[in-house]
């Protein structure tokens, strides 16, 4: 049935969140068809053209049947900032409502989702290339752990949200602290949110989730993931670009460089995936009262649909 806008001045936006491999995209596709919705990706990995197999990007046939937004919007060497994502996402939400359709924000990038849900007032990025180069050199010479320890001292709240192995994000947070004199976390001030969020969480017992993502990794490799990375490198894209921080890509780069065997590469990707799943739990907590949690499975779409109809009658 069509999505009918409510008389309430704050329109409803449905968010579907949860760890990687929990079935967010498939559930969103079903709901979009049932409610005449449009999907708005809140996944930083899907922004970049050419990063398709390893990001499990929705297939062209699916995107032709259901409108998707913020997918394939940038070349790998033109990285998007969080502020750019937030601005574009809010514009799309307004446009989708203007078409009397339901916005479904889908993704596992915690920063992206929280920036929308909490109305973060993100200051414009101030380029500090010399400082960034200095921090990058220190990470290479002294090790990422040294910089992460400094971030823990300077901004514990930011450090708690960042995976210590994500060197790029550690450097970015330290760069903000050192260049502004303010904690990175304090710069994300909450602001007004001009919509009513309904947040749906999908999850599975951890052993089942790990088994699912292991099978997905095997499927991606069989579909040509290594060849995809080889082609990106052959086009001249540097493996140091932020786009290559997408799960698994850096490991495949190391495999192509002879640093890892394919078997070792697969082991590293599986380990990194488990770390990501644990880290995502910091953004989407099972005890968060604002999130309506469902166990992923064959009945999940129907159960979520029932909740939407209950909170969104008519």
Residue carrying the six token digits 């060849």: 227
Are 148 and 224 members of one domain? Answer: no
Q: So what's the pLDDT on residue 186?
A: 74
Spatial CB neighbours of 3, under 8 Å, sequence gap ≥ 6:
35, 36, 37, 100, 101, 102
Alpha helices (H) in the chain, listed in sequence order: 24-35, 60-65, 82-98, 110-117, 129-142, 144-154, 156-161, 167-180, 206-222, 225-234, 249-256, 262-283, 300-311
The answer on 74 and 144 residing in a single domain is no
- 217 and 303 fall within a common domain: yes
Give CA–CA dist 310/294, Å, rounded.
Answer: 16
DSSP state at residue 89: H
| 218/291 same-domain check | yes
Could you identify the residue written with the tokens 């997918």?
71
Any idea what the CATH number is for the domain that residue 156 is in? 1.10.20.140
Residues 226 and 154 reside in one and the same domain = no
Identify whether residues 139 and 241 lie together within a single domain: no
Domain boundary among 164, 187, 210: 187
**Integer angstrom CA distances of residue 46 from 76, 108, 247, 282:** 11, 11, 11, 21
Strand partners, 38: 103
Please name which of 245, 257, 253, 263 lies closest in space to residue 225, comparing C-alpha atoms.
253
List the end-to-end C-alpha distance of the chain, in Å, as a whole number: 9
18 and 86 part of one domain: yes
22 within some domain: yes
Question: Which residue do the tokens 């596992």 mark?
Answer: 108
Residue 299 domain flag: yes
Domain assignment present for residue 1? The answer is: no
Confidence band, pLDDT 50/70/90 cuts, at residue 125 = low
Query: b/e for 146-174, b at 16 or more Cβ within 10 A?
Result: ebbebbeebbeebbebbbbebbbbbbbbb
pLDDT of residue 165: 81
Q: For residue 222, what is the domain's CATH number?
A: 3.40.50.300
Q: What is the mean pLDDT of residues 162-191?
A: 81
Last residue of a domain, one of 140, 158, 187: 187
Same domain flag for 237 and 288? yes
Mean pLDDT rounded to a whole number for the chain: 90
Residue with tokens 């990194």: 272
When mean pLDDT is compared over 32-46, 138-152, 279-293, the highest value belongs to 32-46
Question: Picking from 246-250, 270-274, 281-285, which range would have the lowest pLDDT averaged per residue?
Answer: 281-285
Flag whether pLDDT at 8 surpasses 60: no
Number of structural domains in the chain = 2
> Which of 223 and 121 is assigned the larger pLDDT?
223
pLDDT of residue 264: 98
Residues 63 and 168 in one domain: no
99 with 243, same domain: the answer is yes
User: Could you tell me the two tokens for 155?
Assistant: 């901004």
Q: Is position 95 within any domain? A: yes
- Domain that residue 296 falls in: 12-121+190-311
Q: Is residue 291 situated within a structural domain?
A: yes
In a domain, 2, yes or no: no
Tell me, yes or no, whether 213 lies in a domain.
yes
| Long-range Cβ contacts of 227-232 (<8 Å, 24+ apart) | 228/50, 228/51, 228/52, 228/53, 228/54, 229/54, 229/253, 229/256, 230/256, 231/50, 232/50, 232/51, 232/76
Using DSSP, state whether 291 is helix, strand or coil: strand
Are 70 and 144 members of one domain?
Answer: no
pTM of the entire predicted model: 0.84
Q: CA 92, CA 65: separation in Å to the nearest integer?
A: 18
Do 179 and 211 belong together in one domain?
Answer: no
Domain membership of residue 278 (yes or no) is yes
Q: For 253-272, how does the pLDDT look when each residue is reduced to its tens digit (9 = 90+)?
A: 999 999 999 999 999 999 99
């Amino acid at each position: 049935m069509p999505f009918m806008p409510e008389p309430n001045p704050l329109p409803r936006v449905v968010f579907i969140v949860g760890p990687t491999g929990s079935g967010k995209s498939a559930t969103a596709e079903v709901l979009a068809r049932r409610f005449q919705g449009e999907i708005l990706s809140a996944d930083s990995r899907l922004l970049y053209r050419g990063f398709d197999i390893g990001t499990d990007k929705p297939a062209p046939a699916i995107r032709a049947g259901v409108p998707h937004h913020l997918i394939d919007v940038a070349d790998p060497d033109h990285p998007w900032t969080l502020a750019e994502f937030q601005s574009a996402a809010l514009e799309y939400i307004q446009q989708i409502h203007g078409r009397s359709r339901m916005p479904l924000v889908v993704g596992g990038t915690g920063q992206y989702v929280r920036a929308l849900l909490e109305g973060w007032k993100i200051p414009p990025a101030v380029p500090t290339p010399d400082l960034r180069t200095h921090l990058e050199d220190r990470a290479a010479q002294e090790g990422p752990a040294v910089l992460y320890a400094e971030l823990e001292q300077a901004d514990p709240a930011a450090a708690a949200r960042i995976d210590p192995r994500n060197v790029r994000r550690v450097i970015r947070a330290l760069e903000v602290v050192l260049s502004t004199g303010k904690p990175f976390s304090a710069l994300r001030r909450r602001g007004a949110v001009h919509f009513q969020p309904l947040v749906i969480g999908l999850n599975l017992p951890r052993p089942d989730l790990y088994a699912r993502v292991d099978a997905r990794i095997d499927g991606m490799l069989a579909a040509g993931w290594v060849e995809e990375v080889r082609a990106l490198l052959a086009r001249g894209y540097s493996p140091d670009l932020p786009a290559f921080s997408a799960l698994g890509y850096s490991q495949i780069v190391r495999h192509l460089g002879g640093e890892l065997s394919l078997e070792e590469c697969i082991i590293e990707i599986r380990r990194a995936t488990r770390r990501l799943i644990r880290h995502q739990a910091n953004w989407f907590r099972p005890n968060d009262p604002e999130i309506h949690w469902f166990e992923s499975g064959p009945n999940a779409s129907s159960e979520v649909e029932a909740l939407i109809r209950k909170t969104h009658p008519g």
